[in-house]
Structure 1
Amino acid sequence: MNILVAIDLSSASEKILDKAKTLALALPAKVCLLHVVEEDPDFLDEELNPQDTNNQGQQKFPQEHNGLQQEVEKLRKSGADTKGLLAQGTVVDVILQKSKQLNTDIIIIGTHGHGGVHHMIFGSVSEGVLRSTSCPVLVIPTHNRK
């Protein structure tokens, strides 16, 4: 089974990764952690390789690259077959594109639970993915509402 986990490297990612780890170890499954950065015409998508210190993502987006690599290593240490992918573009479009390219069986994504005005202005990544994919999607609430 192939699992695509979209993370934004915020504190909310911890909840998403916890559920992804549980699912990956129970099935077992291959996990791809995906982080999307804003569009940059000079940046090409890349799979993370810790031995490659000259890769483009590490040079152009060192904070994102290092954060993603740390999360990949945490999941690997727990026993999950994990790789990282740093990509560029519109978040929803990239998630949909990568899920097809990777033959994803399930997408795991979080929702921040922002209010109606924020949603009206900025939209929702999780909603955009849900509306446009035929792949099952597991949406993890990452907010602390009561």
Structure 2
Amino acid sequence: MSIYQNILAAIDLNEEADKVVEKAHQIALQNDAKLTLIHVTDPLSYAYGGDIPMDLSAIQKQLHEHAEQRMSAFVQKHNLSDANQLLVSGHIETEVHRVANELNTDLILVGSHGRHGLALLLGSTPNGILHGATCDVLAVRV
């Protein structure tokens, strides 16, 4: 019997995500589990706090299209055509938790920089994902 059936890998589509997705793919193969990749983009309104009196929807659309292209290239690079791919916009911890619950995820993988000291162990994003998750979380050192 496999330990995990639904695995969610939170990636940021850069070189550091390679280690996360390689580990996620390895665990998925070992457990005959379904693998889903998620990339979360911050809405421009988060970055500017809504203080800019202009419509940012065209720029937001371009950012999403760029993320789609990067996700496609990332998936192709890692031969993960069988993995589900999600591009969502919002607060990363909130969106990862929401999607994990929707997919009945039993393992979330996230990249973490190895820093010294207990307080710096995970970093703010992996720490936020860990503390709100209802399943196992594996922090992959990048």
- TM-score w.r.t. the length of structure 1 is 0.71
2:37 equivalent among 33, 37, 44: 33
1:60-99 matches, cutoff 5 A: 60-75=63-78, 77=79, 81-99=82-100
% identity of equivalent residues? 33
* Structure 2 portions without partners, runs of 5+: 46-59
Give the equivalent residue in structure 1 for 2:50: none
- TM-score w.r.t. the length of structure 2 is 0.73
Helix, strand or coil: the match of 2:37? Answer: strand
Distance 2:61 2:27 in 1: 29
Distance 1:28 1:64, change over 3 A: same
Helix, strand or coil: the match of 1:35? Answer: strand
- 1:102 deviates by 1.1
Give the equivalent residue in structure 1 for 2:7: 3
Distance 1:130 1:106, change over 3 A: same
- 1:40 deviates by 5.3
Matched, 1:14 2:11: no
Helix, strand or coil: the match of 1:63? Answer: helix
Give the equivalent residue in structure 2 for 1:101: 102
Distance 1:105 1:64 in 2: 26
- 1:114 deviates by 5.7
Distance 1:124 1:60 in 2: 24
Helix, strand or coil: the match of 1:107? Answer: strand
Equivalences, count:
120
Give the equivalent residue in structure 1 for 2:28: 24
- 1:70-107, Cα deviation, whole Å (9 max, x unpaired): 233345x36x7301100000111111111001111110
Which deviates further from its counterpart, 57-66 or 29-38?
57-66
Distance 1:134 1:61 in 2: 28
Distance 1:82 1:58 in 2: 24
User: Aligned AA for 1:70?
Assistant: A
Give the equivalent residue in structure 2 for 1:135: 135
User: Aligned AA for 1:23?
Assistant: I
